[in-house]
Amino acid sequence: AQKAANLANARSRVLEAARAGAQMVMLPECFNSPYGTQYFGEYAEEAGGESTAALAAMAREAQVYLVGGSIPERAGGRLFNTCTVWGPDGALLARHRKVHLFDIDVPGGITFRESDVLQAGDALTEFGTPWGRFGVAICYDMRFPEMAMIAARRGCVGMLYPGAFNTTTGPLHWELLLRARAVDNQIFTAGCSPARDAAVTYPTWGHSTIVDPLARVVATTGDAPDIVYGDLDMQLVEDTRRSIPVSTQRRFDLYPDVASQ
Ligand SMILES: NC(=O)CCC(=O)C(=O)O
């Protein structure tokens, strides 16, 4: 619940990852606040606020590409769930506002309505790195395969998802969705979740995970605080697309309503 402690923890873990050799680092969804509609207003910041300034400084200090999880963002009197991406020089590379709000009702499991307080974003998001372009989306966005499909068709080599699945849907779908987005599009995928805190209103699943274009889990963890490291060999994207050439075998004549973007 302590924003300052969350920012300090993020900084120390980003620096730790960089010292271990990471060149790109991702933080989880709502890394500066508890996850819950009752908290978003209290923790929200405008662009350029304390948390985004801290992210820019972390990226610069650690000299990494930083996918800054997400924070509740206030803009024009409205609230968004927003991820910012930073270059090693501290420059803002991209901003993604979660486009599919997490409104679900699983009887006996979980009911959640982000749309009670948040507005949805209205754009897909990508950014460039020396290793290729990456798409960014947030948590529930992962359930919508179109976003990863479009990113891959535009040439992205990976999709990155700050997320916070829960203990009902996490064991069912978190890894499955990361692997599904990877295998369908022959890209890397990664999901970064907060660790579990059983005392909060929304206990997260955890299990931050990296998946390769053959849908193999490169690295994962449990529900405790951790850093998940993976070496991404970008040649694998091309090799996978060459050996299983679904991207050139599509029959858009049979499904013109999902024709290429
Ligand atoms: N924060 C979220 O969007 C949670 C998504 C989730 O748990 C799901 O099952 O989808």
Look at the chain and count its residues: 261
pLDDT band for position 260 (cuts 50, 70, 90): low
Candidate list 45, 73, 114, 139, residue with the active-site label: 139
Nearest CA to ligand 1 atom 1: 164
Q: Which two tokens stand for residue 186?
A: 């022959």
* Ligand 1, atom 7, residue with closest C-alpha: 165
Average pLDDT, the chain: 97
Atom number, ligand 1, closest to the C-alpha of residue 29: 1
Residues 51-104 pLDDT 10s: 999 999 999 999 999 999 999 999 999 999 999 999 999 999 999 999 999 999
Q: What is the pLDDT of residue 109?
A: 87
Contact 164 CB / ligand 1 (< 6 Å): yes
Selected catalytic residue, list 29, 73, 114, 126: 29
Mean pLDDT on 109-123: 96
pLDDT digits (tens, 9 = 90+) for 1-56: 999 999 999 999 999 999 999 999 999 999 999 999 999 999 999 999 999 999 99
Nearest-CA residue for ligand 1 atom 9 is 169
73, 98, 114, 126: the catalytic one is: 98
Q: Is the CB of 165 under 6 A from ligand 1?
A: yes
pTM beyond 0.90: the answer is yes
Q: Is 156 a catalytic residue?
A: no
Per the annotation, the verdict on 3 as an active-site residue is no
Provide the pLDDT confidence category of residue 261 given band limits of 50, 70 and 90. Answer: low
Examine the residue annotation and report whether 139 is marked as an active-site residue of this protein.
Answer: yes
